Structure 1
Amino acid sequence: MATRSVAIDIGAATVRVAEVEMRGGNDPRDGATLTAYAERPIPAGVLRDGEIEEPGVFAGVVKEAVSAAKVNAKKATIAVGHPSVMVREVDVPSQPIDKVRASLAFHVQDSLPMAIDDALLDFYPTQEIEGQGGTLLRGLLVASPRDLVRGVIRAMEGAGVGLAHVDHAAFALWRSGCRGELMNANVALVDVGAVSTKVIVSQQSRPRLVRVLPQGGLDATKAVASAFKGTSVDAEALKRQIGMNANVGPEQRPVADAVAHVMGPLVDSIRNTLVYFASSNPGAGAERIVLTGGGAYLSGFGQALSSATRLPVMIGDPFAGSAVGKKVDAASLAGREAELATVVGLAMGGAS
């Protein structure tokens, strides 16, 4: 039986709303259909450091996006992906998942970077292993500041949106990106957003590591604007067109240098994350990188990342093996499919 789910992705500058229909099968994501989609820009100053500063204005943007998508948002899945949200692999005694979640605070309180009373905890199981004291359940612990999640929930309530589930953006990215042949591979999913970059390492269809790096494509836009301070230029367009390309003329060199100056350290951080995981998990290191987010289209970034990591890099497509419904303007999404990886993955999770 077909099921539909609505998801809302809150980006640094854009609210995206998607509805996905899945029809079941061994992997319901195969053959899924994007039945509705809309996006609306978030005015400057409404969000600050990932937190909602102007809830009234923000609620208006969400309402407008939901209305444009023409979906029922009484039950929608949303995501958190702020750098303050900790995701860490842990082992806990094996027991039914409801009991695991109920006892998480007892097992992990000494390893949290925040007071246990200030944290909302969740657990994503990946496998059972044998430990010295018996069978253990290995998985990813998610610890989010309670106030951060409450702020998002209040804002959604103000927009008239009911919550079906609060997910971590990294799991949404894994869900939309780790499919088909990638399910049986060791792959790094790298989503370069405006203000942060998410790195997810998946080993044989199991997410093993999540890192949120506090750098993104907006840093490059600001660097280009600064390089041309006092002149009127479209810094965002120049960033995308020229990017980190080394083979440019003297007129374009200031742009390429400015972008490389701020995006080079991000490339290094991604490489270091993958090196750390590979050294800690022999034989499980990433064999390729799937790049999503707006930064995936930054000219020269994929090449720089491939050179630094010595891994092949491909642009992710959340619609691979899926379809776009007749009510969706497919032409408007052509060439920027990777920007929708989070919202599509959120909706896929809500419908599963």
Structure 2
Amino acid sequence: MAAKSGRQMNPIGVDLSGDGVRAVQLESTDKGLRVADRAAHTWPSGAADEDVRGHLGRLLKEHHFQGYRIAMSLPGDQVSVHHVRLPVMPQEQLDEAIATTLADRLPCPAADTVMRHVEIFATSGRDCQADHIVFAVPRAVVERQLQMAERLGLMVVGINALPLAIGHAFSYLGRRRDETGFTFLLAHLEKRATHLLIMHEGEMRFARTIGTGVHDLLEAAAAQSGRPVKELCEQQALMMKHQPDTVMLNSRMTAAPETPQHAASLPYQLAGAALDNYVEEILSGLCYFSSTVNTHGVDKAVFVGPQANDYGFCQMLANRLGLPAQIGDPFAGIELPAGELPAAPADRRPEPEMAAAVGLSLFGAMVN
């Protein structure tokens, strides 16, 4: 089905990170961006590639996505993130220099690795140096993604690392008058991983992946409380399903109306050392950023990803980090389908789990 006159349909953003598939298709109109369609489906951890392909194929067929062009995310647990500092040099030399510098830190030989790097800072003067964030993934993983899409009759216009996709979705951060000049920490919360991204004036300045997720902390809490892990996970799922529609966490630095704080109803504090180590890993990333990139540090945390629907966990983590925070809504400023419009923007519940898919649809339009 062709797009309506005067509208440009973006590729479908397909996020396969974590425990499911999330797809979003945006379209550009004379008035801005609107959601053409969006859908999500979750599955048990460790699903085989064949099962993932089947779920994705059914999801796209059962909804009103248009066309066959997609932009995909790479599996977060397959992508390694590195920060390197090198002398300023021509692009053709830079690729080789990065590969040489990271030779002992890559998941496989450089010849079998796909790398993308983003320059985040460069010094001027006699000894010009540049800092780069490098995303590396085994070539076999990329080829597997492409084969999956090909078998479904889809055309991949771009593949992106999860932090980069999230950055596209939230490039607008800092445009509010009371947040001008702010530096934001975006934390993509998953069951088994946490992806960190720091942004300033719409640009990425730091990225790191922590191999611990919310359910790892639930398991640690269950071990201490004597309650079954399954019981805590089911309680969390029910709680996330019935969260209030609006939420702001410790947002004392903004002019937005406050809502009651969300006390963690799950016993995360019983996770003990596991929780302490998790918070310490995040804080060490913030310290690294402050010491090497921006001495001002971070002004606010924004929680996204499927586990960001656990408002109690986000509130607890914001308190531990000592940062004002909010639940990120990737659809802020984007027109929703007519049947979904709330009485007022503040009445609409944020959808943090769709962050990467929104960013991928935006990314797909840029590279297509």
* TM-score of Structure 1 vs Structure 2, range by shorter chain: 0.7 to 0.9
For 1:36, the aligned partner's letter is: D
| Aligned residue runs from structure 1 range 56-95, under 5 A | 56-72=50-66, 74-80=68-74, 81-82=76-77, 84-91=79-86, 93=88, 95=90
Q: Does the Cα contact within 8 Å between 2:187 and 2:302 map onto a contact in 1?
A: yes
Unaligned ranges ≥5, structure 2: 1-5, 241-260
Report % sequence identity.
18
Question: Counterpart in 2 of 1:233?
Answer: 231
- CA–CA distance in structure 2, aligned partners of residues 300 and 106 of structure 1: 45
Q: Does the Cα contact within 8 Å between 2:262 and 2:315 map onto a contact in 1?
A: no
Q: 1:302 aligns with which of 296, 314, 327?
A: 314
For 1:55, the aligned partner's letter is: D
Matched, 1:269 2:291: no
For 1:228, the aligned partner's letter is: R
Matched, 1:346 2:360: yes
Q: Which moved more, 1:183-192 or 1:319-328?
A: 319-328
| Aligned residue runs from structure 1 range 185-196, under 5 A | 185-196=182-193
User: Tell me, what secondary structure is at the counterpart of 2:231?
Assistant: coil
For 1:104, the aligned partner's letter is: D
- CA–CA distance in structure 2, aligned partners of residues 303 and 160 of structure 1: 43
Question: Counterpart in 2 of 1:32?
Answer: 33
Question: Counterpart in 2 of 1:171?
Answer: 164
Normalised TM-score (structure 2):
0.76
For 1:236, the aligned partner's letter is: E
For 1:168, the aligned partner's letter is: A
- CA–CA distance in structure 2, aligned partners of residues 217 and 148 of structure 1: 25
User: Tell me, what secondary structure is at the counterpart of 2:23?
Assistant: strand
Question: Counterpart in 2 of 1:49?
Answer: none
- CA–CA distance in structure 2, aligned partners of residues 106 and 330 of structure 1: 52
Q: 1:280 aligns with which of 288, 292, 302?
A: 292
Quote how far apart the aligned CAs of 1:299 are.
4.1
Quote how far apart the aligned CAs of 1:347 are.
0.9
User: Tell me, what secondary structure is at the counterpart of 1:130?
Assistant: coil
Question: Counterpart in 1 of 2:215?
Answer: 218
Q: 1:22 aligns with which of 28, 33, 51?
A: 28
CA RMSD of aligned residues (A): 3.5
| Cα gap change, 1:125 to 1:238, in 2 (>3 Å) | closer
User: Tell me, what secondary structure is at the counterpart of 2:206?
Assistant: strand
Matched, 1:322 2:320: no
- CA–CA distance in structure 2, aligned partners of residues 68 and 153 of structure 1: 22
Matched, 1:6 2:12: yes
Equivalent pairs counted in the alignment come to: 328
User: Tell me, what secondary structure is at the counterpart of 2:209?
Assistant: strand
- CA–CA distance in structure 2, aligned partners of residues 262 and 328 of structure 1: 40
- CA–CA distance in structure 1, aligned partners of residues 312 and 273 of structure 2: 13
User: Tell me, what secondary structure is at the counterpart of 1:303?
Assistant: helix
For 1:7, the aligned partner's letter is: G
- CA–CA distance in structure 2, aligned partners of residues 22 and 297 of structure 1: 28
Quote how far apart the aligned CAs of 1:266 are.
2.2
| Cα gap change, 1:291 to 1:246, in 2 (>3 Å) | closer
Q: Does the Cα contact within 8 Å between 2:25 and 2:65 map onto a contact in 1?
A: yes
Question: Counterpart in 2 of 1:27?
Answer: none
- CA–CA distance in structure 1, aligned partners of residues 219 and 330 of structure 2: 28
Q: Does the Cα contact within 8 Å between 2:78 and 2:137 map onto a contact in 1?
A: no
| Cα gap change, 1:140 to 1:5, in 2 (>3 Å) | same
Q: Does the Cα contact within 8 Å between 1:85 and 1:142 map onto a contact in 2?
A: yes
For 2:81, the aligned partner's letter is: M
Question: Counterpart in 2 of 1:110?
Answer: 101
